[in-house]
A and B are shown apart, each in its own frame.
Chain A
Amino acid sequence: MAVRKEIQNPAFYALIAALVVMSVGPIALMLATSFKTNIDVYDASVPAFFFSPTIKNYETVLCNFLWYEPAHVDYCDPTFGRALNNSLIVGLLSTGLTLTIGCMAAYALVRFQFMGRGTVSMGTLLMRIVPPAVLLVPVFGIWTFQYGLDQTYAGIILIYTAMNLPFVIWILQSFIVQVPIQLEEAARMDGANPFQVFFLVVLPIIQPGLAAAAIFTFRIAWNEFLLANALSGRSTRTAPVTIVNSITEYDIDWGVIMATGMLLAIPPILFTFVASKQIITGMTAGAVKG
């Protein structure tokens, strides 16, 4: 059937506009607030969106990365900047590790017949069911007392890798299945060894799958709070943990905290615009296909 663009009634567009405002509004408000001084935030006469913006909050948050010294910062508190840095390290390393293990495991599961195929989809499902709060006690206990990995990057990275692996393997499997086996056979005929076949033939073909998996893994590692809170020490805290720590106090510096929140929200928002199709596919996988 030909897709035709219908002319809809104006109420319909009004509804869509209202929905867009509702879903983007809070984010826009956060963005606006992050450019306000604390005085403006508490002054009722300053409107929510139209005011004179300032980047002071961002300077405060990122003060230990700036090449100049902002005039209004008396004492540079490195907590937020360091936390963002930690988040970045943890996110990137755990994504890298997950993808490396994941693509090899997925390839093995697709190309070689052995038991464990069912286990992967079962593992994906289980990982979806188990709330992170349930993992808290065993992970904390095992990591701290048996591996001695608490307060290090390694501990956090390890748990994120373990959490994401089943899903990543599962997603990559569906991409590897589509790689024609003839291509690999041809490469082998030309004298490529198994590693060359994998790295030079298979990996370039499944690049879109790798990108999707990377986005999913990075987002989870970047956004996660609960386990990071239990496992990180003073110097390895990730950004969500520092945000929670700083809002338990009564006097909240909204501008600064909104600036941190915004910095934390930017990567996921970017990913959403770049790869919304893959994200929706990943999100709906299993529900629609059945």
Chain B
Amino acid sequence: MILALLYPIGYMIYASFLDWSPSQRIGQAEFIGIRNYINLLGDAAFRESFWVTIRFAAIVVTLEMIVGVGLAMLLDRNIRGMVLLRTVFILPMMIAPIVVGLMWRYMFHPTVGIFNRMLKSFGFEGIPWLADSTWAFIAIVIADVWQWTPFIFILALAATQSLPRSALEAAEIDGANEWQKIVMIKLPLMMPVLIVTLMLRLIDVFKVLEVILVLTNGGPGLSTEILALRIFRTAQEFQELGEAAAMSNMLLMMLMVLTIGMFVYNRVKEAHVAQRRAVIEKDND
């Protein structure tokens, strides 16, 4: 199993040192050392798509966290049909990303799309959704928020519903209002789950590719070309497997740093809790 995992990674690291096109066998490719990496770092387009990725990840994850957690707070009540509601909410995540892209491309269409039709019926100008670089970025953010907010909503809802009721009741007796209960009790208690959710979403956001591929194919210009999409296009359209491998390695390293950060955070947190417990026990002695 370890071998099965390490072999492709080693293969990829080796490939990233080659000038390799898909028509060649790997042995025929020319060894060019770290020139792929140097080219990439000097390549303005790569840097641009790196920043697009960071911007996309930051905006999307922030929006989804705010909306998802906010909705979970609002809907944390006993109502009939909650199960059906959750089922409906996970639908966007279940259908193929390609199909999601297709739906949004239709809705963003300049003439037949529902958004522009609505704007025009109210007498406004249509918006060039996918043709203008700012609007295209907004469009992919909207599509991603639509698809993935339910994920955060469901996790946050599960977290609020498993909170200890006693703390909330105590706050109620002390006269806390709804808002105070949320800010001072619910959110701090949910923090561990929320942070794990954030990390999971952050990891997933680097995988988003199909929706953007269908919606804009990275364009106009490079405004929506996130790194995963760039890897795909470098390998598929420009036939530069070596460069794509070098990019993959960089993306992978970025994700590794994120994951290791998550682990370290958890460890530090655990150590912190253990320490506090030890202090309390000492006080009790």
Co-assembled chains A and B = yes
Q: Chain A interface (Cβ within 8 Å of chain B)?
A: 1, 3-6, 8, 12, 15-16, 19-20, 22-24, 26-27, 29-30, 33, 41-42, 44, 48, 116, 119, 123, 125-126, 128-142, 144-145, 162, 219, 222-223, 225-226, 229-230, 240, 243-244, 247-248, 254, 257-258, 261, 264-265, 268-269, 271-273, 276-277, 279-280, 283-284, 286-288, 290
B197:A133 contact, CB within 8 angstroms = no
Question: What is the bound-complex CA distance between A272 and B120, given in angstroms?
Answer: 36
Given contacts A5-B78, A15-B74, A123-B5, A137 and B235 within 8 Å (CB-CB) = yes
| With A288-B155, A288-B162: A283-B90 Cβ-Cβ less than 8 Å | yes
- B245→A137 contact, CB < 8 A: yes
Give the most central of B94, B217, B227: most A CB within 10 Å.
B94
Contact A287 B200 (CB under 8 A): yes
Q: With A8-B79, A138-B15, A284-B155 known to touch, is A276 a contact of B86 (CB < 8 Å)? A: yes
Q: Is the CB of B245 within 8 A of A248?
A: no
Known: A23-B88, A225-B210. A290 touches B71 (CB 8 A): no
The verdict on B203 contacting chain A, using a C-beta distance below 8 Å, is: yes
Contacts of A16 in B (CB 8 A): 75, 85
Query: Shortest Cβ distance from A54 into chain B, in angstroms?
Result: 17
Shortest distance in angstroms between A261's beta carbon and chain B's nearest beta carbon? 4
Are B112's CB and A287's CB within 8 A? no
B207 touches A261 (CB 8 A): no
Output the nearest chain B residue to A40 by Cβ-Cβ distance: B112
Interface residue range, chain B: 35 or more
Tell me the complex Cα distance, A76–B206, Å: 40
Using an 8 Å CB-CB cutoff, how does the interface string of B8-26 with A read, 1 for contact, 0 for none? Answer: 1101100100000010011
Q: In the assembly, what is the distance between CA of A24 and CA of B117, in Å?
A: 19
- Would B207 and A131 count as touching, CB distance under 8 A? yes
Contact with A along B193-232 (1 / 0, CB 8 A): 1001100100110110110011001000000000111011
16 A-B pairs within 8 Å (CB atoms) are namely: A12-B74, A26-B146, A30-B102, A129-B259, A131-B209, A137-B231, A142-B11, A243-B102, A268-B95, A268-B96, A269-B91, A269-B95, A287-B196, A287-B200, A288-B159, A288-B193
Asked if B88 contacts A20 (CB within 8 A), the reply is yes
* B114:A276 contact, CB within 8 angstroms: no
B257 to chain A, nearest CB (A): 11
Taking a contact as CB atoms under 8 Å apart, the answer to whether B228 and A280 are in contact is no
Assuming the contacts A141-B11, A145-B25, asked whether A244 and B103 have C-beta atoms less than 8 A apart, the reply is no
The residue that B99 contacts in the complex, of A30, A48, A119, with Cβ under 8 A, is A30
Q: Which of A1, A219, A284 has the most CB of B within 10 A?
A: A284
Residues of A within 8 A of B158 (CB): 284, 288
Given contact pairs A135-B8, A137-B248, A284-B158, A226 touches B90 in the complex (Cβ within 8 A): no
CA distance A265 to B92 in the complex (A): 10
CA of A279 to CA of B99, assembled, Å: 20
Per-residue CB contact flags for chain B residues 233-261 toward chain A (1 = under 8 Å, else 0) read 00110000100110010011001100100
